[in-house]
């Protein structure tokens, strides 16, 4: 938790309900321990989509399709989402959820490893939502930049690792050390790459928003 728990509860208490289908899928996902974007990130994405109006969206990390369906409700009418997932157990659930939400025509699910599939894509995408394996973001970065349209926006979720990011490498549990150093490297690159302007926001589990220059 990087933001005080009472603050989060208060902010959540202000939220309006999502569409019926999103409420249902969120409930199912939480009950089966499928990770999905948190309330504050949902709200942030909605506003960002309404401001940016991205027509072509790429999502890395579908899980069961919650965030893709949420984005599809806030993108322009002619918008399209391509979303990537490699975990076989989640793919059929995501497909079924897209069907339930009536979104099969505007969401394309690609099955397989994100890095391999990104290399095959040509884009360009007006918005890329990065929400897969945190230790891989640094490897996805060159492809993400290549795939972004001229004024494209890259949103990277979970970049502050429950606050671990500010701890020294040695204070972090051994099994998390590789991810820790890779995420630090990723944030450094996002902030120092001359092709991007990036803001790192301590919202949810930390989100980085980058605009291609």
The two structure tokens encoding residue 195: 């092709």
The yes or no reply on residue 103 touching ligand SAH (CB under 6 A) is no
Asked if 165 is part of the footprint of ligand SAH (rule: CB under 6 A), the reply reads no
Question: In the sheet where 207-212 sits, what is the strand order?
Answer: 107-111, 80-85, 56-60, 125-130, 148-157, 207-212, 196-201
Q: Does 87 bind ligand SAH (CB under 6 A)?
A: yes
85 near ligand SAH (CB under 6 A):
yes
Q: Which of 135, 132, 131, 130 is nearest to 154 (CA)?
A: 130
- Tokens of residue 163, six digits: 């606050």
Helices 20-31 and 66-74: crossing angle, nearest 10°? 160
131 binds ligand SAH (CB under 6 A): yes
Structure-token pair, residue 71: 């984005």
Rg (CA), the chain: 17
Min separation Cβ 4 and Mg ion, Å: 20
Decide: helix, strand or coil at residue 109.
strand
Decide if residue 85 touches Mg ion (CB under 5 A): no
Residue 90 interacting with ligand SAH (CB under 6 A)? yes
Total Cβ atoms within 10 A of residue 6: 8
Q: Is residue 67 part of the contact set for ligand SAH (CB under 6 A)?
A: yes
**Cis before 32 (ω within 30):** no
Cβ closest to Mg ion, residue 139 vs residue 149? 139
Q: Does 113 sit near ligand SAH (CB under 6 A)? A: yes
Residue 205 near ligand SAH by CB under 6 A: no
Assess 157 for contact with Mg ion (CB under 5 A).
yes
* Residue 114 lies near ligand SAH (rule: CB under 6 A): yes
| Partner from ligand SAH, Mg ion, none contacting 130, C-beta within 5 to 8 A by type | none
Q: 1 by DSSP, 3-state: which? A: coil
Reduced to 3 states (helix: H, G, I; strand: E, B; else coil), residue 159 is coil
For residue 213, the minimal CB distance to ligand SAH (Å) is 26
Q: Is residue 61 a contact point for ligand SAH (CB under 6 A)?
A: yes
Choose which of 128, 131, 132, 210 interacts with Mg ion (CB under 5 A).
Answer: 131
Q: Which residues bind ligand SAH (CB under 6 A)?
A: 35-37, 61, 63, 66-67, 84-87, 90, 113-114, 131-133, 136
Summarize as ranges the residues that interact with Mg ion (CB under 5 A).
131, 157-158
């Amino acid at each position: 938790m990087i933001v005080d728990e009472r603050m989060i509860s208060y902010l959540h208490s202000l939220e309006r309900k999502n569409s019926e289908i999103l409420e249902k899928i969120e409930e199912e996902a939480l009950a089966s321990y499928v990770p999905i974007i948190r309330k504050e990130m949902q709200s942030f994405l909605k506003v960002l989509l309404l401001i940016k109006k991205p027509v072509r969206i790429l999502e890395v990390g579908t899980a069961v399709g919650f965030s893709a369906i949420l984005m599809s409700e806030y993108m322009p009418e002619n918008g399209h989402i391509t979303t990537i997932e490699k975990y076989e157990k989640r793919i059929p659930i995501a497909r079924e959820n897209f069907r339930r939400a009536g979104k099969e025509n505007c969401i394309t699910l690609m099955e397989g490893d994100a890095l391999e599939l990104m290399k095959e894509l040509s884009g360009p995408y007006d918005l890329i939502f990065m929400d897969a394996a945190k230790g891989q973001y640094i490897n996805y970065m060159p492809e993400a930049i290549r795939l972004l349209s001229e004024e494209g926006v890259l949103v990277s979720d979970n970049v502050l690792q429950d606050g671990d990011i500010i701890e020294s490498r040695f204070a972090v549990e051994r099994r998390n050390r590789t991810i820790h150093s890779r995420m630090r490297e990723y944030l450094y690159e996002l902030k120092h790459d001359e092709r991007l302007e990036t803001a790192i926001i301590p919202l949810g589990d930390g989100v980085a928003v980058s605009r291609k220059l």
